[in-house]
């Protein structure tokens, strides 16, 4: 930096202090914009990141083969049973795959309370390996346990069935469901002891479920992903008919091989709404679904950015206009500096340094303001705000950018004036 420029930068910063009220008011405008920016970024990217983490726990290396979720009245129901299971085992032979057949029913479960629309899933002891979730309490059932002797509950199912006293709602523990008995509709003797509770991969379940109007329109297979299931040993539902077969692969390379092999027999499930091309049995690769869902949340976060960009743009327009108005009273001062030998670039630097100082100070004021605002909103709307120092850094960067952009135009205009014309009052 040239030594001639330095005094002008110092002068710019000093001018901020010389006009404390006006500088403070401009900084407040900037602070409010940054507070909104911090809030929106925390919400957007916090949500996006959490949803991605949640989705990642649904078993990225698992492939599901089963009937496609297509309602086709009058058409014959696709055959999907033991012969298909044998075919799948043969296709993934040599890939160290874990193959888990699943039979499921939609039932009403009753513990201390009743839980309608519970998915009763009969699976082998290998089922947890198809997911990336830990046990919240207890254990999974073993190969020596059969029928309705034992069951494992998803955490949210356990909480619905054994809610405990209302006064201790916040302190609910998954352990409280262990050893309790659950009855299932659909036949006599369908009663099992809870031996384990599976963790819930969904961070924002309560927020999601309070507005989940589409629950009733999800199929059993779709409902499995909402993690409100009860799992029992495979022979508890002795039907030859299978709902689905899960295939867990050890790594992405073998996942790709398995996917290719399976898709030689059954086509991939398509997310396009084309009933005429959907096959009765399809191959669903969770990795593909996760990547697609991740892209949707990323798009949502991107669109959410429009809010803070709009607010910053509004702040920028107003501060620019304000600077254009206020710079007029300093034409004399700037003209004198030009006469003293200051170059145009020096004046631009001086005014820009002033704007930058105010906006960065405003930005720093905006961080605690944003935090306070988020706390208030969190209490009212239960929004899951998540703060991260990176977001604060982005917000301060935005503040600096705001200051730069809003002072450059007025600075260039002031620097471009003819000092003689200003001092002889031909320009005001």
Contact positions with another protein (CB under 8 A) in 287-326: 289, 292-293, 296, 299, 307, 310-311, 314-315, 317-322, 324-326
Residue 60 to residue 286: CA distance in whole angstroms:
6
User: In the window 324-353, what residues touch another protein (CB under 8 A)?
Assistant: 324-326, 329
Q: Which of 82, 93, 241, 252 binds another protein (CB under 8 A)?
A: 241
| 73 forms part of the interface with another protein (CB under 8 A) | yes
| 117 forms part of the interface with another protein (CB under 8 A) | yes
Residue 35 to residue 385: CA distance in whole angstroms:
13
**Dihedral angle of Cα 45, 51, 53, 56, to the nearest 10 degrees:** -140
In the bound complex, what is the minimum distance in angstroms from residue 81's beta carbon to another protein?
A: 9
Cα–Cα–Cα angle for 249, 254, 258, nearest 5°? 80
User: In the window 381-400, what residues touch another protein (CB under 8 A)?
Assistant: 381, 383
How many residues belong to the site for another protein (CB under 8 A)? 84
Residue 87, classed as helix, strand or coil, is helix
Q: Which of 2, 166, 380, 389 binds another protein (CB under 8 A)?
A: 380
Q: Which of 390, 395, 393, 366 is nearest to 46 (CA)?
A: 390
In the bound complex, what is the minimum distance in angstroms from residue 77's beta carbon to another protein?
A: 8
Region of 69-77, 175-183, 251-259, 338-346 interacting with another protein (CB under 8 A): 69-77
Q: Which of 83, 142, 179, 186 binds another protein (CB under 8 A)?
A: 186
Based on CB atoms, which residue is closest to another protein, 234 or 255?
234
In the bound complex, what is the minimum distance in angstroms from residue 245's beta carbon to another protein?
A: 12
Alpha helices in 138-202 (DSSP H): 155-161
Based on CB atoms, which residue is closest to another protein, 133 or 293?
293
Residue 203, classed as helix, strand or coil, is coil
Q: Which of 251, 290, 245, 214 is nearest to 58 (CA)?
A: 290
| 44 forms part of the interface with another protein (CB under 8 A) | no
CB 201 within 8 A of CB 150: no
Q: Which of 63, 237, 392, 417 binds another protein (CB under 8 A)?
A: 237
Based on CB atoms, which residue is closest to another protein, 95 or 290?
290
Region of 73-81, 87-95, 138-146, 176-184 interacting with another protein (CB under 8 A): 73-81
Q: Which of 179, 222, 250, 416 binds another protein (CB under 8 A)?
A: 222
| 88 forms part of the interface with another protein (CB under 8 A) | no
| 243 forms part of the interface with another protein (CB under 8 A) | yes
DSSP secondary structure string, 22-61? Answer: HHHHHHHHHHHHHHHHHHHHHHHHHHHHHHHHHHHTTTTT
3 Cβ partners below 8 Å, 6+ apart? none
Q: What φ, ψ does residue 115 adopt, rounded to 5°?
A: -125, 105
Region of 129-137, 193-201, 223-231, 353-361 interacting with another protein (CB under 8 A): 223-231
Residue 98, classed as helix, strand or coil, is strand
Q: Which of 20, 94, 165, 216 binds another protein (CB under 8 A)?
A: 216
In the bound complex, what is the minimum distance in angstroms from residue 293's beta carbon to another protein?
A: 6
DSSP 199: P
Residue 302 to residue 313: CA distance in whole angstroms:
16
| 68 forms part of the interface with another protein (CB under 8 A) | yes
CB 248 within 8 A of CB 100: yes
Residue 90 to residue 428: CA distance in whole angstroms:
88
| 182 forms part of the interface with another protein (CB under 8 A) | no
| 109 forms part of the interface with another protein (CB under 8 A) | no
């Amino acid at each position: 930096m040239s030594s001639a420029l330095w005094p002008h930068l110092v002068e710019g910063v000093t001018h901020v202090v010389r006009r404390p009220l006006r500088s403070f008011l401009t900084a407040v405008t900037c602070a409010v914009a940054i507070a909104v920016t911090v809030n929106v970024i925390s919400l957007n990217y916090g949500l996006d990141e959490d949803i991605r983490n949640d989705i990642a726990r649904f078993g990225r290396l698992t492939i599901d083969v089963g009937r496609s979720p297509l309602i086709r009245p009058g058409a014959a129901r696709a055959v999907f049973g033991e012969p298909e299971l044998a075919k799948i085992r043969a296709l993934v032979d040599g890939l160290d795959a874990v193959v888990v057949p699943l039979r499921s029913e939609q039932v009403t479960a009753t513990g201390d309370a009743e839980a309608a629309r519970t998915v009763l899933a009969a699976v082998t002891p290998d089922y947890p390996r198809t997911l990336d979730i830990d046990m919240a309490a207890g254990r999974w059932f073993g190969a020596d346990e059969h029928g309705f002797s034992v069951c494992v509950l998803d955490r949210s199912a356990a909480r619905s069935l054994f809610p405990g006293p209302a006064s201790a709602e916040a302190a609910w523990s998954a352990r409280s469901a262990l050893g309790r008995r659950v009855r299932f509709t659909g036949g006599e003797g369908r009663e099992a002891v809870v031996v384990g509770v599976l963790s819930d991969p969904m961070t924002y379940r309560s927020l999601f479920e309070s507005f989940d109007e589409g629950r009733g329109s999800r199929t059993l297979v779709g409902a499995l992903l909402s993690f409100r299931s009860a799992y029992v040993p495979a022979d508890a539902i002795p039907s030859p008919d299978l709902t689905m077969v899960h295939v867990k692969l050890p790594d992405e390379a073998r996942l790709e091989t398995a996917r290719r092999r399976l898709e030689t027999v059954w086509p991939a499930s398509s997310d396009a709404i084309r009933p005429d091309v959907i096959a009765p049995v399809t191959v669903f690769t969770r990795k593909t679904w996760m990547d697609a869902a991740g892209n949707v949340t990323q798009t949502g976060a991107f669109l959410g950015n429009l809010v803070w960009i709009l607010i910053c743009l509004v702040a920028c327009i107003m501060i620019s206009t304000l600077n254009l108005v206020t710079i007029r009273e300093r034409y004399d001062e700037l003209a004198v500096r030009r006469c003293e030998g200051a170059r145009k670039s020096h004046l631009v630097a001086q005014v820009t340094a002033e704007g930058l100082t105010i906006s960065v100070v405003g930005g720093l004021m905006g961080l605690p303001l944003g935090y306070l605002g988020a706390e208030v909103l969190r209490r009212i709307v239960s929004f899951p705000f998540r703060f991260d120092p990176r977001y604060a850094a982005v917000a301060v960067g935005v503040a600096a950018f705001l200051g730069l952009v809003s002072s450059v135009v007025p600075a260039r205009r002031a620097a471009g004036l003819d000092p003689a014309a200003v001092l002889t009052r031909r320009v005001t």
